[in-house]
Structure 1
Amino acid sequence: MTSRLLLVRHGETEWHAENRYAGVTDVALTPKGVDQGAGLGSWAARSGVDAVACSPLGRARLTAAPAAAALGLAVDVQEGLREVDFGWGEGRTIAEMAEEDPEAVRRFREDADAGAFPGSEPVALAAARATGSLRDLARRHQGGTVLVVAHNTLLRIALCELLGLPLGRYRRIFPRLDNGAVTEIEIRGPETALRSLNVPTVAPPRPRARTEPCGRLTP
């Protein structure tokens, strides 16, 4: 049977403004991130979700909590869904790293697997644990729909692994997953299909109608 997984990146964190690599650092959500979690909860309540799973990191737990509460479900915390440890890059921006070691950043940009940051978790290991968790969820909820809240890099690596795409190119194939947006996949046995990418759960505000000034009447 086919299982439907709705992959969601956690809400915005305090490091987003500077685009720092959070990795395994437990960075708090911003007020916007909290709102994104609430929006995800409202969306999940009307989307036929049967189970909610998430990374053990606080930012993922807090994003998943409103959905679980709205559905009356317990959150299935999966250690395999924690974010990648970025080693030397943890807590830093690309600009800061490039200033210290431009060659290391060049290698990373060229191939994020072979050129991974010093001391970081190997991409292949991250892919194995992430896909292991996702396939386990698919097996345990066959024919159902699982909401999975995790992280930008981990989910992109997992998508490449599941779809048979080169791991070292995950940054180019999937430039980013938006906070609070849904990427839908279907898993049927060994096969995975990508159904949608970065679908927002909250509609953007409608633009205000333009009003043209009335012309002056002439006698």
Structure 2
Amino acid sequence: MSRLFLVRHGETIWHAENRYAGRTDIALTPKGIQQAGRLARWAATTSIQSVWSSSLSRAIKTATPAAEALGLKLQTDDRLLELDFGRAEGHTKSELQTIMPEALAAFRGDPVLHHMPGGEDPVTAAERGLAALRSIAAPLPPHGHALVVAHSTLLRLVLCRALGISLSRYRDLFPTFHNCAITEIEIRPNSAVSLLSFNAPLPLPTKETSL
């Protein structure tokens, strides 16, 4: 069996403003860069054997310091990209209430059956994301570990799919992935998945190690 550490990228300005940021390539804030540094210091204390991220820069720049701390090459997989939010990209919920109130109400009722107009089908996103995690776990040695830096909505959908939970409940059961918190899953040889921890915070930096 293998274990994966699932991590949402560091903070971006759109996420700080609570804007939908799916495929739009938004840079990390200074706080997000600090979070990536803390992730790297934590990773250096582990036996992680591979580091993966989506190909969006916010994920790459979060994962790169961790890969360097471990002496590993960062690998990317487009199946780890965030859900495409279509016409909701770049908007806050209050803005969407004005722009597309009916679509927003339907989304709140069932975010899978009524996903954002012009956006990606969450079922498709869940399948590609889970396939990526299984392919990352497959070459690991027994009891091996990998770090995967991706995105909040994708990871919540993947958890639901992997655990046999209705995708429509992803917003209720997993309200968010905190930036650079650690969620750990175990993938067994028969592909069964167990959730070991969710949103565990990184250790706080000490005066000596703070950026």
**Residue aligning to 1:174:** 174
**Residue aligning to 1:193:** 194
Question: Displacement, 1:198?
Answer: 0.4
2:183 counterpart SS class: strand
Q: How many positions carry a matched residue from both structures?
A: 205
Question: Displacement, 1:106?
Answer: 1.1
Does the Cα contact within 8 Å between 2:22 and 2:85 map onto a contact in 1? Answer: yes
1:148 counterpart SS class: strand
Aligned 1:27-42 pairs, distance under 5 A: 27-42=26-41
C-alpha separation between the residues in 1 aligned to 2:76 and 2:153? 18
Change (3 A) 1:64 1:121: same
Question: Displacement, 1:140?
Answer: 1.4
1:51 maps to a residue whose letter is S
Does the Cα contact within 8 Å between 2:86 and 2:119 map onto a contact in 1? Answer: yes
1:67 counterpart SS class: helix
Using the size of structure 2 for normalisation, the TM-score is: 0.94
**Residue aligning to 1:68:** 67
Q: Which runs of 5+ in 1 are unaligned?
A: 206-219
C-alpha separation between the residues in 1 aligned to 2:54 and 2:76? 6
Aligned 1:1-219 pairs, distance under 5 A: 2-143=1-142, 144-188=144-188, 189-203=190-204
Percent identity of the aligned residues?
A: 50
C-alpha separation between the residues in 1 aligned to 2:131 and 2:16? 32
Question: Displacement, 1:62?
Answer: 0.2
Does the Cα contact within 8 Å between 2:38 and 2:205 map onto a contact in 1? Answer: no
* Runs ≥4 residues deviating over 6 A: none
C-alpha separation between the residues in 2 aligned to 1:15 and 1:204? 25
C-alpha separation between the residues in 2 aligned to 1:184 and 1:12? 20
1:160 counterpart SS class: helix
1:146 maps to a residue whose letter is A
Question: Displacement, 1:16?
Answer: 2.1
2:16 counterpart SS class: coil
C-alpha separation between the residues in 2 aligned to 1:63 and 1:190? 28
Using the size of structure 1 for normalisation, the TM-score is: 0.91
C-alpha separation between the residues in 2 aligned to 1:87 and 1:100? 13
Question: Displacement, 1:11?
Answer: 0.1
1:33-75 superposed Cα distances (whole Å, 9 cap, x missing partner): 0000010000001022111000000000000001000000001
Question: Displacement, 1:138?
Answer: 1.0
Question: Displacement, 1:17?
Answer: 2.5
1:27 counterpart SS class: coil
Question: Displacement, 1:86?
Answer: 0.3
2:128 counterpart SS class: helix
C-alpha separation between the residues in 2 aligned to 1:153 and 1:204? 27
Superposed CA RMSD: 1.3
1:104-155 superposed Cα distances (whole Å, 9 cap, x missing partner): 1111111110010111000111011100100001111142100000000000
2:134 counterpart SS class: helix
Question: Displacement, 1:190?
Answer: 2.2
Does the Cα contact within 8 Å between 2:43 and 2:66 map onto a contact in 1? Answer: yes
**Residue aligning to 1:215:** none
2:196 maps to a residue whose letter is R
2:33 maps to a residue whose letter is V
Does the Cα contact within 8 Å between 2:163 and 2:193 map onto a contact in 1? Answer: yes
C-alpha separation between the residues in 2 aligned to 1:171 and 1:68? 30
C-alpha separation between the residues in 2 aligned to 1:142 and 1:151? 26
